[in-house]
């Protein structure tokens, strides 16, 4: 769970950034941001749309898409995943790393002072400048493991580690 003061802080940041950029704070935009700010699911646009629609029946998927990319342009959400396909949005802008389930796509944040101080190989500089680095730990989450254990006893594959450069 994301605690209430963290969500409140994200909303205040959103209001300040929108005001500074001259972006109109419509009820729809506020609700869409609130949904991302209160979620630890790293939702994609369709997932945000499904939840927001229960509160705002007139909202369209197109509005959700445009609002999420607006939030991205304002620097209020980060994205993960490939550009094409299902881009996912993350309102946690503090340095953190991800656990991603290779079966269901569950994504969770974790922090690590050691990983924040990761020693990036000098060879990376030949690709370009470094803005940030985060580690994506992949594995099979508990729910998926329990589901396959119920179906057939199989050995879980070891988690892979991969450091990715963010742009
Ligand atoms: Zn899973
Ligand atoms: Zn995250």
Distance 20 CA to ligand 1 centre (A): 40
Rounded to whole angstroms, how far apart are CA atoms 127 and 149?
Answer: 43
What tokens were used for 130?
A: 């470094």
Taking the CA of 106 as reference, the closest ligand is 1
Give the single-character DSSP code of 44.
B
12-29 residue pLDDT tens: 999 999 999 999 989 999
| pTM of the entire predicted model | 0.66
Model pLDDT, residue 131: 83
For residues 97 and 109, is the Cβ–Cβ distance under 8 A?
yes
94 forms beta bridges with none
Residue 161: strand pairing partners: 137
Cα(150) to centroid(ligand 2), Å: 30
* Neighbour tally for 45: CB within 10 Å: 20
* Residue 124 per-residue DSSP state: G
Nearest to 109 by CA among 94, 130, 124: 94
pLDDT tens per residue across span 32-57: 999 999 998 999 999 999 999 999 99
Ligand index nearest the alpha carbon of residue 141? 1
Tell me: pLDDT of 166 over 60: no
Categorize the per-residue pLDDT at 148 as very low, low, confident or very high, splitting at 50, 70 and 90: confident
Torsion sign (Cα): 115, 167, 32, 140: negative
Percentage of the chain lying above the pLDDT 90 cut? 55
Residue with tokens 């990715």: 164
Neighbours of ion ligand 2 (CB under 5 A): 90, 92, 109
């Amino acid at each position: 769970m994301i605690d209430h003061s963290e969500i409140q802080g994200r909303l205040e940041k959103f209001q300040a950034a929108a005001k500074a950029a001259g972006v109109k704070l419509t009820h729809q935009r506020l609700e869409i941001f609130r949904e991302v700010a209160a979620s630890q699911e790293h939702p994609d646009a369709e997932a945000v749309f499904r939840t927001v629609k229960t509160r705002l029946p007139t909202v369209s998927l197109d509005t959700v898409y445009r609002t999420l990319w607006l939030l991205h342009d304002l620097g209020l959400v980060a994205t993960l995943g490939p550009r094409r396909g299902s881009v996912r949005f993350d309102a946690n802008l503090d340095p953190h790393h991800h656990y991603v389930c290779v079966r269901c796509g569950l994504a969770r944040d974790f922090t690590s002072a050691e990983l924040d101080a990761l020693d990036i190989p000098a060879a990376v500089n030949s690709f370009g400048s470094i803005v940030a680095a985060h580690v994506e730990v992949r594995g099979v989450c508990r729910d998926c493991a329990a589901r396959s254990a119920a179906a057939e006893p199989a050995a879980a594959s070891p988690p892979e580690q991969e450091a990715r450069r963010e742009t």
